[in-house]
Structure 1
Amino acid sequence: MTGDKTAQTAPVFAGRRWFFPSALVHELAPDAARSGRRPRRTVRDWVVDFACFLLAVGVSLLGAEALSDNHDLPPGLVTADQVLGALSCAAVWLRRRWPFALAVATVPVSFVSETSGGAALIALFALAVHRPFRYVAWVGGVHVALTPLYFWWRPDPDLPYLASLVLLVVLVGAIVGWGMFVRSKRQLVLSLRDRARRAETEARLRAEQAQRLAREAIAREMHDVLAHRLTLLSVHAGALEFRPDAPREDVARAAGVIRESAHEALQDLREIIGVLRAGDSDDAGRPQPTLAALGTLVAESRQAGVEVVLDRRVADPAGVPASVGRTAYRIVQEGLTNARKHAPGTEVTVSVAGGPGEGLTVTVRNPAPEGDVPHVPGAGQGLIGLAERAVLAGGTLEHGPTSDGGFGVRARLPWG
């Protein structure tokens, strides 16, 4: 989704690059930022540079006119002043590449050349736009400090000394303030760009995390639902394979269990796929089992030929939270599935006890099987999923061999 948004906004920005300064284009355009080369001037840059150059030339011409009216100056000094003014105007084109060097160089030049004053002010503005305030403070401070000496050396014939001094100081302050405003506006645009990128990155990471959690939840649900059914198929098919001479009633009963388990597994798979297509959460797609469904689960296992002893001592079965009851159901379901797979023919003991405030304890145990047991492959993913479910519910789960050689699963879940 983020890639599509970038692909949609990139052409819009590319079509309006002429409107932005080259420094912003270099920062905002990913290809320009990765190239490592200096940003090329945009149309806006050329317009602004020409305007600055023409302004410097205009101020220089005004200064040259004032020099021509002053007949006390020798012709050589007037010519040198105009040459310095012309060079200063030409140097305005370097304000983007070397703003600090140009501003420093124009300080002494503007002090001795009246026609260089416009170029000096433009260089000071460029310095305020492209460099931090400490550089602007030094150069602007030197300008202000030299102002009284400049007007003492070259007094303005049309204005008093104090008025000329105040006017130039105000002009320098206005130019510095304007340049700092332009700089802060550019930094604001860049900061908004960075915030937008961070927001897109965080949104993408949150989406990926949500997808990963959804995949894990779906994987747990499919394992819990289908493993129970498929284990019945495997156990009864294995019994038919190892006992082809079994009585007809046993064969018919095993075939019926296989058929029913296959039908229910297919139905469960259809329901899960329907949830995926609808985009709903794990809990919204179909009715979730609760602690009250333990009796049905045990009856189903007994019908499949498993001896199950259910010891249920719950103070308030209706008051068990739905998430806790669902977790307890899945733990018992996985315990019965593992017992059928790895210890067929044994008696499985299921114990559920607890009450509000003290928590819910779920225990599934089976003794060691007798004789040779057909090997049923397993990767232990069911027990890992049960541990994750217990932790998500705020409880704990322990599993492992018992002292008599059997296997047990014990979980403690919070209640209240």
Structure 2
Amino acid sequence: MSEVETAIQPGRGWLSYVRPAFLVLVSFAGGLALLYGVLQQAPAGAARWIDVLFGALASAALVFSRRAPVPVALALAGVAAVFASGGLANMLALYAVARHRQLTVALLIASFNVVCGCFFWTLYPKNSSLLLTFTVNVAIAAALTAWGALRQAQKALLDSYRERAERLEREQELREREIRRAERTRIAREMHDAVAHRISLVALHAGGLDVMPDPAQSDVRRSAELIRSAAVQALEELRVAIGVLRADEPRSLEQPGLDRVDDLLRDAADAGQRVAVARAPDIADGVPPDVGRAAYRIVQEGLTNARKHAPGSAVSLTLRRTSGGLLLQIRNPLTAERLEMPGSDRGLIGLTERVALTGGTLHYGISESHQFELCAELMWK
């Protein structure tokens, strides 16, 4: 029967011809076995050859049982009611209905088969009693219907599992794509923060040379060295960031934490930026990595903005612990002079989003003392 089920399903290539042919041969052979070996009373003479002919036609009709199972099953049930050699083809057609159609339709076809079997008994009553004929026909019809319905349910279950697996795979791909997109966006933001910090140092050194009335050669050499160093570092950070963005699987850039704030202050001092710092020596102890990274970027953005918008002004930086986290305040006075550098509020907007992801808050604007103030509270408890 497994070969029969496989043959009923559409195949590919040469199997699409071999399987139906095998099905027809098996059906016709089984019908001849019923006619010549099983039945005690069967048609004789010319009637037997007619029976064989209709049995062959019934077996050939099974080729269409996958495409039109119900009409084929009805027709073969009628053939089997008169011609014995069409009996096995009738059974296979009933299985095809149960395999590919609703159970109610299969039960109706099965009932019709039982009626046709009883009609065959009226033509050849000496084979067995009517009760035995009815019982056997009911048992065969029920078994074929149940088997076909079971196979249909199994196929539907496998299809649902396959569809679910494909859906989960698509969702996983979408999640991975979204993760990569978010990572690339975050890397681009990191690139903005890091490169803008370096470029602001370059602009500050160049601006200092521009306003110096008669710079000494040593001052020029020192400023040029600082400009070169800042530019090289900016190019290196830009190269690393672009290389990461071009990779198929973006990796994270180096993520400095709160313990690297001294590097920012050292760069600012080398550029001539005055920064008054108020913090505890062990301010970085126990700070979670994500909070430390956010704090580093806040200090970096604050010092960069101060160099761009208030060059030469003193900046105050306050870092202190609170009951549930870390408080950062960066202040610089408002000045009419500013460096001509392109920019927007994207850095501050990015900081606001970064701080929000850690569960903290960030505010910036002009304070009552006419200073620009950048204040962030990072929470982790």
TM range (shorter): 0.7 to 0.9
Distance 1:116 1:278, change over 3 A: closer
Give the Cα–Cα distance (whole angstroms) in 2 for the partners of residues 295 and 327 of structure 1. 15
- Equivalent in 135, 139, 142 of residue 109 of structure 2: 139
Residue identity over aligned pairs, in percent, reads 36
Give the Cα–Cα distance (whole angstroms) in 2 for the partners of residues 382 and 68 of structure 1. 93
**1:120 equivalent in alignment to 2:85:** no
TM-fit CA distance, 1:258 = 1.4
**Which residue number corresponds to residue 299 of structure 2?**
332
For this pair of structures, how many residues does the alignment match?
Answer: 374
**Which residue number corresponds to residue 56 of structure 1?**
27
Distance 1:230 1:21, change over 3 A: farther
Aligned pairs for 1:25-36 within 5 A: none
Give the Cα–Cα distance (whole angstroms) in 1 for the partners of residues 220 and 240 of structure 2. 30
TM-fit CA distance, 1:202 = 3.2
Aligned pairs for 1:157-306 within 5 A: 157-187=126-156, 190-241=159-210, 243=211, 245-248=213-216, 250-266=219-235, 268=237, 281-282=251-252, 288-306=255-273
**Which residue number corresponds to residue 15 of structure 2?**
44
Distance 1:177 1:307, change over 3 A: same
Give the Cα–Cα distance (whole angstroms) in 2 for the partners of residues 50 and 121 of structure 1. 17
- Greater relative CO (CA pairs within 8 A, separation 6+): 2
Give the Cα–Cα distance (whole angstroms) in 2 for the partners of residues 103 and 170 of structure 1. 18
* TM-align CA RMSD: 3.8
TM-fit CA distance, 1:328 = 0.8
The residue identity in structure 1 corresponding to 2:234 is: A
Question: Counterpart of 1:247 in 2: which secondary structure?
Answer: coil
Contact 2:358/2:380, CA 8 A, preserved across alignment: no
- Equivalent in 342, 363, 366 of residue 398 of structure 1: 363
Distance 1:342 1:90, change over 3 A: same
Give the Cα–Cα distance (whole angstroms) in 2 for the partners of residues 238 and 272 of structure 1. 27
Give the Cα–Cα distance (whole angstroms) in 1 for the partners of residues 36 and 119 of structure 2. 18
Deviation per residue, 1:41-93 (Å, 9 max, x gap): 6433433322332233234435655999859x898987876665454333222
Contact 2:313/2:333, CA 8 A, preserved across alignment: yes
Give the Cα–Cα distance (whole angstroms) in 1 for the partners of residues 27 and 7 of structure 2. 21
- Equivalent in 335, 341, 366 of residue 332 of structure 2: 366
Distance 1:68 1:136, change over 3 A: closer
Aligned pairs for 1:50-89 within 5 A: 50-62=21-33, 65=36, 84-89=54-59
TM-fit CA distance, 1:189 = 5.1
Contact 1:151/1:161, CA 8 A, preserved across alignment: no
TM-fit CA distance, 1:339 = 1.0
Contact 1:156/1:164, CA 8 A, preserved across alignment: no
TM-fit CA distance, 1:155 = 5.2
The residue identity in structure 1 corresponding to 2:358 is: A
Q: Point out where structure 2 has 5 or more consecutive residues left out of the alignment.
A: 1-5
Pick which of 213-222 and 183-192 moved more.
Answer: 183-192
Give the Cα–Cα distance (whole angstroms) in 2 for the partners of residues 274 and 123 of structure 1. 65
Give the Cα–Cα distance (whole angstroms) in 1 for the partners of residues 345 and 163 of structure 2. 45
Give the Cα–Cα distance (whole angstroms) in 2 for the partners of residues 239 and 78 of structure 1. 116
Deviation per residue, 1:136-187 (Å, 9 max, x gap): 222123324555x436524553434433333322222332344335434544
Deviation per residue, 1:356-397 (Å, 9 max, x gap): x42222222222113x43421013332233223212322222
**1:415 equivalent in alignment to 2:376:** no
Contact 1:240/1:251, CA 8 A, preserved across alignment: yes
The residue identity in structure 2 corresponding to 1:174 is: A
Question: Counterpart of 1:97 in 2: which secondary structure?
Answer: coil
Contact 2:184/2:250, CA 8 A, preserved across alignment: no
Contact 1:24/1:190, CA 8 A, preserved across alignment: no
Give the Cα–Cα distance (whole angstroms) in 2 for the partners of residues 108 and 198 of structure 1. 45
TM-fit CA distance, 1:348 = 2.0
Distance 1:263 1:375, change over 3 A: closer
Q: Point out where structure 1 has 5 or more consecutive residues left out of the alignment.
A: 1-19, 26-40
Distance 1:377 1:43, change over 3 A: same
TM-score, normalization by structure 1: 0.74
Give the Cα–Cα distance (whole angstroms) in 1 for the partners of residues 326 and 262 of structure 2. 17
**Which residue number corresponds to residue 74 of structure 2?**
104
Pick which of 274-283 and 288-297 moved more.
Answer: 274-283
**1:343 equivalent in alignment to 2:314:** no
TM-fit CA distance, 1:122 = 1.7
